[in-house]
Chains A and B, each alone.
Chain A
Amino acid sequence: MAFALTPERENELQDILTRYPTRMAATIPLLHLCQDQNGWVSEEVIQFVSQKLDVPPAHVQGVVTFYTLFNQKPVGKHQVWVCRTLPCALRGAGDVIAQCEKKLGIHVGETTKDGKVTLRTAECLASCGTAPMMQVDKDYHENLTPERIDAILTRLQES
Chain B
Amino acid sequence: MLRRTDYLTKVYALGHSLEVYERQVQGYQAARKVLLTMTREHVVDEAKKANIRGRGGAGFPMGIKWSFMRPHPTKPAYLVINADEGEPGTHKDRTLMELNPHSIIEGCIIGCYAIGANVAYIYVRDELHLSKERLWGAIKEARAKGYLGKTPFGKNYPIEVHVHTGAGAYICGEETSLLNSLEGRRGEPRLKPPFPAQAGAFGCPTTVNNLETIATVPAAFMLGCENYSKLSALHHIGDGGVRLYGINGHVKKPCVVELAVGPTINELIYDIGGGILGDKPLMCVIPGGSSTPLLRADEVVNAPDEKSPLHAWHGKSVMDVPLGVDTMRGVGTMLGTCCITVMAEGTDPVLAMLNLMQFYHHESCGQCTPCREGSAWLDRTVQKLYDGQGTTDDIALLADLANNIMGNTLCAFGEGTAMPALAFLKKYRKEFEAYATGARTKAQARLTVD
Contacts and interface: CB of A to CB of B under 8 A. Distances in A.
B307 interface: no
Interface stretch (A82-90, A98-106, A110-118): A82-90
Contacts of A24: 183-185
A131 B251 CA distance: 11
Nearest to A49: B184
A126 B93 contact: yes
A146 interface: no
A87 B167 contact: no
B11 interface: no
A121 B168 CA distance: 12
A128 B246 contact: yes
Contacts of A70: 167
Interface string B406-450: 000000000000000000000000000000000000000001100
A3 B91 CA distance: 38
Interface stretch (B328-336, B356-364, B387-395): B356-364
Categorize the interface residue count of chain B.
35 or more
B280 to A, nearest CB: 12
A126 B202 contact: no
Contacts of B220: none
Interface in A112-145: 122-131, 135, 138-140
Given A28-B166, A128-B339, A129-B254, A89 B355 contact: yes
B185 A127 contact: no
Interface string A21-52: 11011111101100000000000000000000
A69 to B, nearest CB: 4
A85 B341 contact: no
Interface stretch (B127-135, B319-327, B396-404): B127-135
Interface stretch (B40-48, B59-67, B82-90, B375-383): B82-90
B352 interface: yes
Contacts of A122: 127
Contacts of B86: 123-124, 126
B248 interface: yes
B210 interface: no
B3 interface: no
A28 B184 contact: yes
A129 B248 contact: yes
B104 to A, nearest CB: 15
A131 B365 CA distance: 26
Contact of B90 (A19, A66, A128): A128
B138 to A, nearest CB: 16
Given A21-B202, A67-B167, A125-B127, A86 B88 contact: yes
A72 to B, nearest CB: 12
A68 B130 contact: no
B170 interface: yes
- Which of B89, B170, B184, B447 has the largest number of chain A CB atoms within 10 A? B184
Interface residues of A, number: 47
Contacts of B184: 22, 24-28, 53, 55, 63
B255 A129 contact: yes
A65 to B, nearest CB: 8
Nearest to A93: B447
B102 interface: no
Contacts of B127: 69, 81, 122, 125-126, 135
- Which of A28, A31, A81, A140 has the largest number of chain B CB atoms within 10 A? A28
B314 interface: no
A138 B132 CA distance: 11
A123 B359 contact: yes
A62 interface: yes
Contacts of A29: 164-165
A87 B249 contact: yes
A126 B125 contact: yes
A92 B85 CA distance: 22
6 closest pairs, A vs B, by CB? A27-B184, A67-B167, A68-B168, A69-B168, A128-B248, A24-B184
Interface of A: 19-22, 24-29, 31-32, 53, 55, 59, 62-63, 66-70, 81, 84-87, 89-92, 94-95, 122-131, 135, 138-140
Given A67-B187, A131-B254, 7 more contacts: A25-B183, A62-B185, A81-B127, A86-B352, A87-B89, A89-B448, A124-B359
29 contacts: A19-B121, A21-B76, A21-B202, A28-B165, A32-B167, A59-B185, A63-B186, A67-B167, A68-B167, A68-B168, A68-B169, A85-B356, A89-B352, A90-B341, A90-B343, A94-B447, A123-B362, A124-B87, A124-B359, A125-B127, A126-B85, A126-B90, A126-B91, A126-B128, A128-B246, A128-B249, A130-B254, A131-B254, A135-B127
